[in-house]
Amino acid sequence: MKGRRWPAALGVALGVLGILYLAQRLLVPKYQTGVVEGSMVAEYYRERVDHDLIFIGDCEVYENFSPVTLWEDYGISSYIRGSAQQLPWQSYYLLEDTLRHETPKVVVYNVQALRFSRPQSEAYNRMTIDGMRWGPAKVRCILASMTEDEHFIEYLFPLLRYHDRWGELTGDDVEHLFAKDPVTHAGYYMRADVKPQTGFPAPQALADYTFGDMPMDYLGRMADLCREKGVELILIKAPIEYPYWYDQWDGQAAAFAAEQGLTYLNLIPLRQEIGLDMTRDTYDAGLHLNVRGAEKLAAWFGGWLLERIDLPDRRGEPAYDAVWEEKTALYDAMKQQQYAEIEQYGELVTFGANAVEG
């Protein structure tokens, strides 16, 4: 009799686990419409070719550089490991995670997030961390990122965090229960609309302009890790004026780079040389570039990079050609779709904040 109980108990246990698994798959946010930024980090693991150039950072990289342009103009295979409000410790662990999969020749890190001295927001943490593959880098990233109200176990079992999302479920949660659509183009988030930059408030005076210990520690770790792996680390500040990038911050970034033997490039004063016209090349009044601006910036930056570093032109290599041909087709199709929506409705309706989850 006892012997017959075990299979039944096992069956029930597996059934319960199955239900919990399905519930978790259903309840975790899918980030497929509107706020798609939570899908970005996981998309990287679908990549089928290696990259010679990796960008790491927040929206100042994933909205401002077009990898398709870098491919079309220079044959550079690149990827942006970006996420919304990506903090320096998250950038470090994403770098560590990336270098487990491949060894690029160059890593470009955008320094804007150095202004954050401590964990900020659970919503942004989730968008960066949930998509990471489990491993030591993800565990350490969670521990470094958690705000005081967060719990590690909720990252381990997201059902514990999202169990009360029943009332918020949409068609997207069912449609993308097991598979998600790509939302980026090699990590680039595309917007084709235009909202001219008009002006920004005066910068706030700060009592202390010194970057915090935590971000500088992780920046140092990024430099060490790149050195150890033979990867050239380049620090940049994207050509975006707001949030304000203080001269004092710029000086610290430059001093760190000089001390570490790295290149630091502040792109704000180079906007004219790049050809950026902020009355046409931004979709949100100057906070981020639109696709036209991102293509201009990528074209300029690729040229600047090749003057300094010998990156291979992968065009003509069948494996790369196949992958990038596919990416370019998807990129062009989305660009045309966005232009068509703008033409028809005067604004984007299926992308960005206007998009409504199905």
Partner 1 sequence: MKKRALAMLAGALTLGVLLAGCGSGKDAAGDGKQQTGPASKYVFALDGVEVAVNADMAPLAEALGEPSDYFESESCAFQGLDKVYTYGGVIIRTYPQDGKDYVLSVELKDDAVPTREGIYIGADREAVLAAYGQPTDETATALRYVDGDCTLAFILAENMVTGITYTSDAA
Contact flag: residue 3 with partner 1 (CB under 8 A): no
Residue 264, H or E segment:
strand 263-266
Smallest distance from the beta carbon of 59 to partner 1, in angstroms?
5
Q: Is 247 in the site for partner 1 (CB under 8 A)?
A: no
The one among 21, 152, 242, 345 contacting partner 1 by CB under 8 A: 242
Nearest distance, CB of residue 16 and partner 1, angstroms: 4
Q: Which is nearer to partner 1, 208 or 307 (CB)?
A: 208
Instruction: Please provide the DSSP assignment of 132-153 as one string.
Output: SPSSHHHHHHHHHH--TT--HH
Q: At what angle do helices 67-74 and 318-345 cross, to 10 degrees?
A: 130
Min dist. Cβ of residue 199 to partner 1 (A): 8
Beta bridge partners of 266: 237
Taking contact as CB under 8 A, which single stretch among the options 31-39, 103-111, 232-240, 272-280 is the one that binds partner 1? 31-39
Bridge partners (DSSP) of residue 109 are 56, 235
| Smallest gap from residue 265 Cβ to partner 1 (A) | 22
Using CA atoms, how far residue 357 sits from 48, 223, 270, 276, in Å, is: 29, 40, 39, 33
Instruction: Determine the size of the site formed for partner 1 (CB under 8 A).
Output: 52
Out of 25, 105, 140, 165, point to the residue binding partner 1 (CB under 8 A): 165
Please identify, using beta-carbon distances, which residue of 164 and 343 lies nearer to partner 1: 164
Question: 10 Å Cβ neighbour count for 358?
Answer: 12
2 binds partner 1 (CB under 8 A): no
What is the smallest separation between the CB atom of 329 and partner 1, expressed in angstroms?
27
- Selected from 100, 133, 168, 224, the binder of partner 1 by CB under 8 A is 168
What residues from 140 to 159 belong to the interface with partner 1 (CB under 8 A)?
147, 149-150, 159
Query: What DSSP element (H or E) covers 289?
Result: none
**For the CA atoms of 58, 84, 67, 33, what is the dihedral angle to 10 degrees?**
-170
Give 233's strand partners.
107
Q: Which of residues 292-351 bind partner 1 (CB under 8 A)?
A: none
> Using omega within 30 degrees of 0 as the cis cutoff, is the peptide bond preceding 136 cis?
no
Binding range to partner 1, per CB under 8 A, among 11-19, 91-99, 249-257, 332-340: 11-19
One symbol per residue from 48 to 87: x for binding partner 1 (CB under 8 A), - otherwise; what is it?
A: ----------xx------------------------xx--
**Could you tell me which of 155, 158, 85, 91 has the C-alpha nearest to residue 124?**
85
| Interface residue with partner 1, options 50, 73, 122, 321 (CB under 8 A) | 122
**262-296: buried (b, 16+ CB within 10 Å) or exposed (e) per residue?**
bbbbbbeebbeebebebeebbbbebbbbbbbbbbb
CB of 288 to partner 1, least distance (A): 9
Distance separating alpha carbons of residues 224 and 218, to the nearest angstrom:
10
- 35 near partner 1, judged by CB under 8 A: yes
Extract the tokens encoding 89: 């410790």
Residues that bind partner 1 (CB under 8 A): 4-5, 8-9, 11-12, 15-16, 19-20, 23, 29, 34-35, 37-38, 58-59, 84-85, 121-124, 127, 147, 149-150, 159-166, 168, 199-202, 204-208, 242, 284-285, 287, 352-353
